[in-house]
Amino acid sequence: MTDLRLRSLSSSPKPVMKKAVDGYSVATIPAPQTHHLLIRLLYVTSAILSISCLAYVGGRGRAPLPDAYALCSRSGAHIYTVDPAYPRAQCMVVQGSHIVDVGVIDEVHRRWESSVLAIEAAIKRSHPKPRLVTKFIESGSIIVPGISDSHAHMLEYGASRLIPLESARSAKAATALVRQFILSDEDIKQDPLKFVEGWGWDHTKWADKAFPTAAILDSDPIVRQHRVILEAKDGHAIWVNSKVLEDISPLPENVEGGVICISGVLLDNAQFLVRVPPPTYRDLEKRFQLVVDDAISYGLTSIHDAGFDPRSLEFFKLLAEKEKLPIRIYGMTHFDENTEYWGDKIKPIIGAANGRFTARSVKIFADGKSSSLPKLTSLRCHPGALRSGGAALHEPYADNPSTRGFMRIDQEVLTTTIHRFLRDGWQTNVHAVGDRANTLVIDAFESALEGINVTALRPRLEHAQIVTHPDMARIAKLGVIASVQPTHAISDMYFAEDRLGPERVKSLYAFRDIIDYGARFTLGSDAPVETVNPLSGFFAAITRLAPDGTSPHGPGGWFPEQRLTREEALKGMTLDPAWASFTENILGSITPGKRADFVVLSKDIMTIPENEILHTKVLATAIDGRPVYGRI
């Protein structure tokens, strides 16, 4: 992978290490409000550096991008800074890896030149006057801060891109894609015993809506020679061929919390009957490359990975050590409640690889693993074999009164675990989908946070999908962050009411209500369950419509009163994720003193008609002032 990052210049304001009340350090830089003095200081260093080192090559071998440059719009203030002190700007000035100024074009040039003249006078030497190169964005385009995804599964997403199963419209078509992959993959050619792994088939999109079978995979002479294991899009089922079924035969009668369809599909816990060898470093590299390529092409500059396992944590640590991270990664390390507590043994990693890698939070599962509301009725291989699990609700499911879902973790274990991680200084992020799961997690947060500085801890509810109103109020009061995924609302809107009933459904994905209670929130995708494209999340959040403009409540959107404004949605993808990852002083807005992470979009998503939003293209994605995608 090409590492386009340049060593950061010392022109940035030095982070001040503050000792937080809970005993761990938080890196901060001076607040944006003091930016005039800061700009002067930055200019002083900038100018010296500009004299001695004139230009760096930016982009993919294209025209050199100077170390310092102004990026402006010819036609007015088309930079959406997400900085309340200066929400719109015509120009931003980048020096090295940081933003040093924003303003109208004449102003930023005047400030640049006067600071340069001051330097020249000070050092009394006659260097040629460093010029501030000005670049212009295309007419109609805009600049926004670097976009963050607050909840995605990076390597799983990469794995899902190996074989594009989601595009298949039948089990046969999926099998053809598997064949194509086998024939083209060098690693499988070299090691025919290697498992062929894929992700993303979705039988609900097929004409027969039936589960696929091993026999379909076996019908292809190439495919049947390999061990094939294909995970469903929702992560609740695997589809395998006979070679894999033979490996695990004889099959047990029952698997607790799982279902075996002998025709070739294993549901939930039955998936664990198949032991797939762990991915090799090379496998992970391939997956990483795929996710990074997609992410930067969609304008993402940072991803919160919602679940490192020991292997992926090691992988990312290694990449960070080698300084091979082309994107910022903020990792949550998964805590498996069946293993030993590790919060007091492992040290959080903060801002490694020049601010690109952090692993200071833990991910705990409270209820069903599904992140979007599980479709119970579609997950059975023969009548009567209902999938167990799902979201833990206060009252039974409307379409299945025999269950109210279950908690994945014992309440007492959950509470002690949350308390311990928080006490040991870990940001504690708990996956909670159902309203009961959310209540129980908030109970645990409430007792743990008594008398504690929440700003130093910033616990998060991952998903916070069905939340009662009293709990929304508690989230706000406690300072807990609701980490929500707008695209899930769109995926679930056609069956949610059947599952929850007409009243309870109103507390599902009720983003407006959550905000109105004064709670903090942050937006993510949960890729690969949904697309990693943040514009899809933006569109879903502000319209509550499917991409084709429809919803069960008509073209005005599904529960349109819960729509976010465009400003809220943009903040939810930039400054809010920065807060949720303790980086609001260095990331999340176009503010002097912050890192120069930004995105150039082909259209003004803040004003264009809604139906044009999904046609907007990313023209450039820049991290630390240099383009990692497109050009400036």
Binding site for Zn ion (CB under 5 A): 306, 371, 526
Task: Find the shortest distance in angstroms from Cβ 148 to Zn ion.
Answer: 15
For Zn ion, which is the closer residue by CB, 211 or 509? 509
What tokens appear for 371 in the block? 């992140």
Length reported for the chain: 632
Smallest gap, in angstroms, from Cβ of residue 526 to Zn ion?
A: 4
To Zn ion, the closest distance from the beta carbon of 280 in angstroms equals: 24
Tell me how far apart the alpha carbons of residues 554 and 561 are, in angstroms, rounded to a whole number: 13
Q: Which is nearer to Zn ion, 156 or 497 (CB)?
A: 156
Q: Residue 614 burial (CB < 10 Å; 0-12/13-18/19+)?
A: middle
Least distance from C-beta 471 to Zn ion, angstroms? 20
Our CB check for Zn ion shows the closer of 405 and 592 to be 405
Strands, E assignment, 12-141: 16-19, 25-28, 55-56, 65-66, 68-72, 79-80, 88-89, 91-95, 98-103, 133-136
CB of 570 to Zn ion, least distance (A): 22
Count CB neighbours of 15 within 10 A: 16
CB 309 → Zn ion: shortest distance, Å? 13
Residue 276 CB, nearest approach to Zn ion (Å):
20
Minimum Å gap between C-beta 533 and Zn ion is 16
Contacts of 52 (CB under 8 A, 6+ apart): none
CB-nearer residue toward Zn ion: 390 or 625: 390
Q: Which is nearer to Zn ion, 302 or 371 (CB)?
A: 371
Question: Which of 447, 542, 442, 440 minimizes the C-alpha distance to 490?
Answer: 542
Burial of 200 (0-12, 13-18, 19+ CB in 10 A): buried
Q: Which residue lies nearer to Zn ion by CB, 306 or 586?
A: 306
CA-based torsion, 517, 521, 523, 527: positive or negative: negative
| Residue 576 vs 597, nearer CB to Zn ion | 576
Secondary structure class of 203 (helix, strand, coil): helix
Query: Cα-flanking dihedrals φ and ψ of residue 146, to 5°?
Result: -50, 135
Please give the angle made by the CA atoms of 46, 49 and 55, to the nearest 5 degrees. 105
Question: Minimal distance in Å, beta carbon 185 to Zn ion?
Answer: 27
Minimum gap (Å) between residue 153 Cβ and Zn ion: 6
> Nearer Cβ to Zn ion, position 109 or 431?
431
CB nearer to Zn ion: give 65 or 306.
306
Measured between alpha carbons, how far is residue 307 from residues 156, 262, 362, 527 in Å? Answer: 10, 31, 8, 12
Which residue reads 């820049």 in tokens?
622
The Cα 150–Cα 356 span in angstroms is 15
- Smallest gap from Cβ 159 to Zn ion, in A, equals 14
Q: 198: which 2 tokens?
A: 């894929």
Q: Which is nearer to Zn ion, 68 or 306 (CB)?
A: 306
Amino acid symbol at 411 = Q
Using a CB cutoff of 8 Å and minimum separation of 24, what contacts does 220-227 make? 220/175, 220/176, 220/178, 220/179, 222/179, 222/182, 222/183, 223/175, 223/178, 223/179, 223/182, 223/196, 225/192, 226/182, 226/188, 226/192, 226/194, 226/195, 226/196, 227/193, 227/194, 227/195, 227/196
Closer by beta carbon to Zn ion, 83 or else 526: 526
In contact, 138 and 602? CB cutoff 8 Å: yes
Nearer to Zn ion by Cβ, of 301 and 371: the residue is 371
Residue 609 contacts by C-beta under 8 Å, 6 or more apart in sequence?
Answer: none
Rounded CA gap, 528 and 69, in Å?
37
Q: How far is the CB of 128 from Zn ion (least distance, A)?
A: 54
